[in-house]
Every structure is written in C-alpha cells, then in structure tokens.
Structure 1
Amino acid sequence: MVILLIMKRILLLSLFFVVLAVKAQININIGSSNVGSAPISSFFSYSYVQQIYPKQEVNANAAGNITGLTFYLDPSALITDSSNWTVYLGHTPKISFASNTDWVPAAELTQVFAGAVSKNGNKVEIVFTTPFAYNNIDNLVVAAKENSPSIDINNFDEVFRVYPYIQNSALVYKGDRNVVDPASPPGGIRVDYKSAVTISGLTTNLAPGCPLVISPANNAQFIPLSPSISWQSVMGATSYRLSLGTTPGGTDVINHQTVNGVGYNLSPSTVLNNDTNYYLKVTAVSANGESLGCADYTFKTIPPVPVNDACSGALQVSAFPYAYTQADGMSSTNNGGFILACANDGMNDGLWFKFTGDGSQYTIKVAPGVASFDPKIGVYTGNCNSLVCVGTQDNGGGGSAETMTITTSAGTEYYINVGSYEDSVDMPEGAFTINITKL
C-alpha cells in the first residue's frame, strides 16, 4: 500500500510538471487572419525581417529561457521554397524602427536556429538549438532570414499570419538578388504589423499586460492643453482604467476613469495647464484582473500664449542684424481670424514683430524648428487695426525656410507676421527662428 501511494504521488507530480511544461508558452494574436511579410517573405527569394515585441506585450511572469517559436499560416499554403531559415533573438530598449535602416545590430542578436523548417497544418514550429535567455526587462527582438533562392506561389502573395500593431513595429527587407548579411543589411520598409506567434519556454501573467501608450508619447514636449490620449489594445482586455495627475502616480486630474476602447478625449471642462508636466497611467482590465506594475508616461504641455501673439504685442526690433528664436510659437492663437490685407493672399495670424524703416533694404528670413510647421511671412504698414499689404512670402512647404527682401521708407513702421500659410483654416504654428538683416 505504501509503495502504491508513493508511485501515485510520483505520477501526479510528473503530470503536474508536464502540465507546467505545456503551459510554458505565450500566445500573441494567434487567431489573426491577416497576412504579411513576417516573419519572412514567401513571395521573394530572400528576406530579412526584424520585429519588436514590447515587454508589455510579451507579458511574461518572469525572466526565462525561450526555447522556440511557432508562426502561423493558412493550412493550404506552400513554403517549400521558403524553408531555409536563420533565426535570431535579442533585447532592445526601442519599441519601433526610426528609419528604413534602423536595424538592431547583428552584434546585439543571438542566433538561435539555422536550417530547414516545415509546415505542420497551419503552423511552422521552430525548436531552438540554443535557448535564449529573455531578461523580462527589455523588449524582445525577433529576426528571421530566409535563404532559399526561389519563391512559393500561393493564392496570396504572402502567407504568414500577422496582426496590426503600432507604427513601424517591424522592418522588412525582401528581394531576389542576394542572401542578406545581418551584419550589413540593406534598407528595408517599415510596416505596422507583426507575426502572430507562440513563444515557448515563458509563462504568461494571468492578468493582462500593461497597455503601450501611443499618444502622447512618453517624455513628449509641447502637448496641447486638450490632448487626445490613445494606447495599443491588449489581448484579453475588456476595458481600461486611466489616471492623470501632476505628480508621479497622481490622480488629481483623472482618477481611475474606466474606458471601453483604446482612446480617451478630455472633457471640455478638463483643460490642462500650460507648461506643466503630467503623469499618465493606463491599465488593462480582464476577467483575470488588472495590469500590475504599469509605469507612468510623462508629457509636458505647451508654453503660455506668447507675448507677441497679437499685432498689438509685436516685438520691437531696433538693432540689426536681428535674431530671435520663437521657442513658444506652437502656443500662438489665430486671434479670431485671418490676415487678409494682401488681396488673394491671406494667411494665419501668427507671431508679430515690428521695426521702423530708414529707406534701406532689409532681408527677413524665417527658419522653422519643426518639419510640421509651414511658415509664411507677411509684411505690412499702417497700424494693427488697418494693415496695408507690403508683400508675403511662401515658396516652400513644411519645414522649409522662407526669405523675402523689402525696401523701406524712412520713418514708416513695418509689421512682420510669421504664421501658417493657410488663409481660411486655423493651422498651428511651430517653433522658428527669425533673422532680419539690413543690406
């Protein structure tokens, strides 16, 4: 009887560890039906793809060894000529790719598999030759290189299942000429999706992962006083909770507001203060609980309205050459209208400067500090209540500098407006530098 009891306990213990082993995996959007060029391209001879899975999305309960990956595709798809793979894993602090050459360096990746893969039903299961030690601190990079010199013809150009994610979360190169060298990969294309995947060897948290806040970006500056807040959806989440305050972890602005969806707009009565740091926290809620350990995202609002926002507050220019950087330009207002003094060539009411002419020529140059600002220069005489057109200048687009030269009359006061080029739509100004030179 004692021997039977011991054997029974050993059997139950063995079954327990078998169950643990089966559960030691993390499934990420494995039900997706979309297709794309990740983890490899089946429609080009060669490909190299890097994907970033943020720590919040992996949502592992602890650091551990990743022992394999499973990717998903249509059961009828062929990958006969797309089956020679080399797979790498790595850690990275970034969540997206900044450019089409912003590859995670090969020196920061570990090769975990090289050889032939095969399809089993709707899966490609890869068991690593060498497990990868995931630290559960950084974000996970999954890179795969396909080395076969031919392509597979399927009903869809690409066959692997992908799901939408944040902008530029994967970087893809695909071509027909040469196998890619991960130490010096060519430029690729950034895409807004990633592979549906099962990560073997890690155990997921029961509670949902922390949402990845998209907007405002962490540590962002010059955020409007009524910002739109958005975040990436979390698998299994039924709702979200949002808090906003003026101190880390603070709730003095929004206190654990329940939100059904992945975005939130502040109510008209909740207007933020200028030039203030705010701390934002979003958690996900599911039947298994609420996200734990979610970090604050911080952002700073725009400065107060500039002193030269209106014509009546124009900055006086008395010495030349003159240079002024309008760092608070994004806080300007349109003052209830548009400047239409120049017939058929109006503009937004932006920031103002003035000087007294002496009969000389003056060159005015405005260089925007941000690519989103498309500046226009307007020059006027008269007075703020009755402007007379001297001329305007708007040759370039967003981020381009504008330059114009005027001939002055002695004793005449000239008003310079630097605003957005639009004459009927209130567009935001941005930071810029103005230089006025006497010729």
Structure 2
Amino acid sequence: MKRILLLCLFFAVMGLRAQININIGSSEVGTAPVSSFFSYSYVQQIYPKQEINAGTPGSITGLTFYIDPSSTITESSDWTVYLGHTTKMAFASGTDWIPVSQLTQVFAGTVTKSNNKVQVNFTTPFAYNNIDNLVIAARENASNIDINNFDEAFHVYSHLPNSTLYYKGDRAVVDPAAPPGGIRAGYKSAVTLSGLTANATPACPFITYPANNTQNVALSPGITWLPVSGADSYKISLGTNPGGTDILNQQVVSGNSFSPSTALAPGMSYYLKITSVAANVTSSGCSELTFKTVPPVPANDACSGAFLASAFPYTYTQDDAVSATNNAGNISVCSVSGNTGMNDGTWFKFTGDGSQYTITVTMPSGSSFDPEVGVYSGSCSNLSCVDTVDNAGGGGAENITVTTTAGAEYFVNVGAYDDTTDAPEGTFTITITKI
C-alpha cells in the first residue's frame, strides 16, 4: 500500500513539473491570446524553440494564460485554439498568417477566469517536436465585449519584433482559413505550457544588438538582449577569436544590457556569447555571434589630409567614411536647398587648369546614405564656396560641374547633408572627370 501511495505521489509531482512557464510574472496587457475589447479576434503567436527550452519533445496537454486581476472576460470566453509548428521567427507582414491547414485545433469551447488565470485543457494533446518553433493561435467568437480598465485583459511581455499577428473587429467571427489583414506586435502572451518538461538549464538569451555579422559597430557598443524567463543574471564572453574570452570572460551582468568599460579596437572582428543564469545554473549550447567594429578614422577625414586627384578621370571608393569625424563642426560656407551647411565628411582636392570638372558621387545598391557635395577654393583655413549640391535623396547620386581657374586649388567635401547634426557618412564612390 505504501509503495502504491509513493508511486502516486511521484507521478503527481512529475505531473506538476511537466510544465514550462514563459514570463508568467509580466503585468503588461495586450491583444493576445485574444482581444477582450473587440467583439471578435484572431491571434497567432510564435514561440521560438530557444525560448521554450524544452528538454525533449513532448505532448502539450494545455495552456494557461494570465489575466489582469481587475479584468473580466465574461463576454470574451468563446474560444477556438490551434497549435502548430513553424520555422518562422516573425511575421513578415499583416497578411503573413500561418495557414490554418498547418495548425491543429486543440480546443473549442468556453473558458473561464479563475485565480487570475485562464486554463485551456486539451482533449487530445499536441505533439511538440522540439525542433521547430511553436505557433499558438486563438480565435474569440463571442459577439459582445468586456469593458476593462486597461481595454485588453491578458498579460503579455515584450519579445522579438513582429512575433505576434492579430486581428480584432466587430463585424463577424474570423474565418481562420481566410483571415483579414492584421496588425503585428512585438509582444506575446505570458503562458504556461502544460505537458512539456523544461531543460535542466535556463534558455539562451536572444541577442538584439549587435546582430550576427553586423559591420561598423561602435567602439563602445551597447550590447542588448531579451530577458530570459526565470533568469536572475547573465554572463558575457567577448574575444577576438572564435570562443575567445580575452576581452570579457563570463562577465556577470544583472540586467539585459551592457557596454564594455574599455573601448574596443577599430576595424576588428569580435566574437560574443551571452548565457543566462537561474539559481546558479548556467544555460548551455548558446550560439556565438561575430561582429566587426567601425574602421579607423580615414586618412582624409580633415581638409588638411585631402586626397589629391592628379590624373583624370579620378575615381576612389571610400568604404571607411562611417568613421569620419566632424572635426571643428559643420561647414557653413555654402548653403543649398534651405540648408545652411553640411557635415564635415571626407576630403579630396585637385588643381584647376581653366577647364570644367564634373564631380559625381554614387552609393552602392541598397545604401541609404544621403550625401551633400561641397566644392571650395582657397585654403583649408579659409575656404570659399564654389558650389554645392544635394539634389537626390538617400542612396541617390549627386553631380556637380565647376569651372576652374588655372593654378587655383579646389577642395571637395563629401559629407552628410545635415546642416546641424553630426550624421554618419556611408560608403560612396567619387569620380572627378575633366570635361
């Protein structure tokens, strides 16, 4: 008899442990898993495998959602719930619904609020493969609405951008086979997944900045990551080679952001890994990412270091302009299109011979850099405006033609068009052609 009681107790305890809590302490409210403030709603949410952090594949037997204590869902309790697998991390647009044909209906009926929770128990468990990401979709079918202090009733937490897609309206119950255009959100429901067993170690954080293979990262970068449910601290490792820790060796951080106390070296590749810690247990198997810092300040950053164009056509591609400084500040010698000046970008010079010269600045495909081109005569300490141009928008080419005086020296500045703000310059190619 004792043995039977012990076995019953064991399985009861294991049943309680077979659940995964995801940010159940959140108090923010939002439109997920359903809307209580509109008559009808349909919501899809993506929970990445990394965030779920299950130890093994398993059967999800139910979901628990968390509701604001002051809210009611009396008129928002007719639910249909679906689960599914997806490789998506986010919704690409307001119509990027995961087809209902790829989802499994796990519940249809009336839900109730109890102890500030809504429990949805499945008749048939859903087999989660622990390979793909999990989709939780819910449709609210009742025609009335609940009036609550915060409009929406359910607790949500901020996460990856566009990880939720929702529609809410008052016209008709949504057909999940042909849902209307919706709205994307960067939050998801605080939820308990019943039936899954959590990994023995906490989940790995999602690093939000810098992204893997990011170029031109600042020398004192603000490294950020999403909080991990249940984590009480994080460890950061940073090195100059894969797996390296020569810059930071598991530096303990209590929040979800960090900036190195010593500036990184310019033009250097770094390797970053962040792990989470919960009750002195550190996450395992976390991926390492790499990024590269901004290049050194270009040699032609100042007028005094202007590159000489001595043979024409002269062409130069400036791929380190992002590190150009504004030196003494914006240049206000020339004005164009309402701008009273431009950024001090990078510099070029040539000597006139009485001919006309055309200066063309182009950007690589996909660039958003919006340059202004200024042409000056005189000396670096006493510039005189010859002409300036800023006709195109971001990524557009700029062209300017000037008539020179024989023996006079001309200086060309390619900088951001902003006349008051020190904006970064992007990659560009300058061509100076004698006509």
Per the normalisation by structure 1, the TM-score is 0.84
Does 2:411 correspond to 1:418?
no
Q: 2:270 aligns with which of 234, 259, 278?
A: 278
Deviation digits for residues 373-424 of structure 1, max 9, x if unmatched? Answer: 4432222223444322123334666x35363543423645543322123344
1:314 and 2:307 are equivalent in the alignment:
yes
The counterpart of 1:57, out of the listed 51, 60, 79, is: 51
1:346 matched to which residue of 2? Answer: 341
- 1:351 maps to amino acid: T
Of residues 366-375 and 195-204 in structure 1, the stretch that sits farther from structure 2 once superposed is 366-375
| Equivalence for 2:382 | 386
- 1:375 correspondence with 2:371: yes
- The answer as to 2:424 corresponding to 1:428 is yes
Deviation at 1:323, TM superposition (A): 6.8
Query: d(CA) in 2 for partners of 1:407 and 1:372?
Result: 26
1:262 is the counterpart of 2:293: no
CA distance in structure 1 between the partners assigned to 2:38 and 2:316 by the alignment: 53
Query: Following TM superposition, by how much is the alpha carbon of 1:251 offset from its aligned partner in structure 2, in angstroms?
Result: 0.5
Distance change in 2, residues 1:16/1:277 (3 Å): same
Answer yes or no: is the 8 Å Cα contact 1:350–1:419 preserved in 2.
Answer: yes
Residue 4 of structure 1: aligned partner: none
Aligned partner of 1:115: which letter?
A: A
Q: Is the 8 A contact 1:65 1:134 kept in 2?
A: yes
TM-score (norm 2): 0.85
**Counterpart of 1:85?**
79
Aligned match for 1:70, one of 44, 64, 68:
64
1:159 to 148, 153, 157: 153
Helix, strand or coil: the match of 2:220? coil
Distance 1:391 1:81, change over 3 A: farther
Check whether the contact 1:368–1:401 (CA below 8 A) recurs between aligned residues. no
Question: Which structure 2 residue ranges, 5 or more long, are not aligned?
Answer: none
**1:430 maps to amino acid:** G
Q: Does 1:124 align with 2:140?
A: no
* Letter matched to residue 184 of structure 2: R
CA distance in 1, matches of 2:390, 2:59: 58
Rounded to whole Å, the distance in 1 between the matches of 2:134 and 2:320 is 38
Selected match of 2:3 from 9, 24, 30: 9
**How much has 1:86 moved relative to structure 2?**
3.3
Letter in 1 for 2:346: L
1:401 pairs with 2:373: no
Query: Quick check: 2:306–2:346 contact (8 Å CA) kept in 1?
Result: no
Q: Report SS of the residue matched to 1:112.
A: strand
For 1:378, the aligned partner's letter is G
- Separation (CA, whole Å) in 2 of partners of 1:438 and 1:189: 54
**1:45 equivalent in alignment to 2:64:** no
> Contact 1:369–1:431 at 8 Å: present in 2 too?
no
* Residue number in structure 2 paired with 1:247: 241
2: CA distance, partners of 1:215 / 1:46: 37
Q: Distance in 2 between matches of 1:143 and 1:222?
A: 39
1: CA distance, partners of 2:179 / 2:165: 11
Q: Contact conserved, 1:27 with 1:197, CA < 8 A, in 2?
A: yes
Aligned residues, how many? 428
Q: How well do the aligned residues superpose, as a CA RMSD in angstroms?
A: 3.2
Structural mapping, 1:347-362, within 5 Å: 347-354=342-349, 359-360=355-356, 362=358
Deviations 1:16-54 (A, max 9, x none): 112211221111222322211111112223323222323
Change (3 A) 1:135 1:77: same
Q: What letter corresponds to residue 255 of structure 1 in structure 2?
A: N
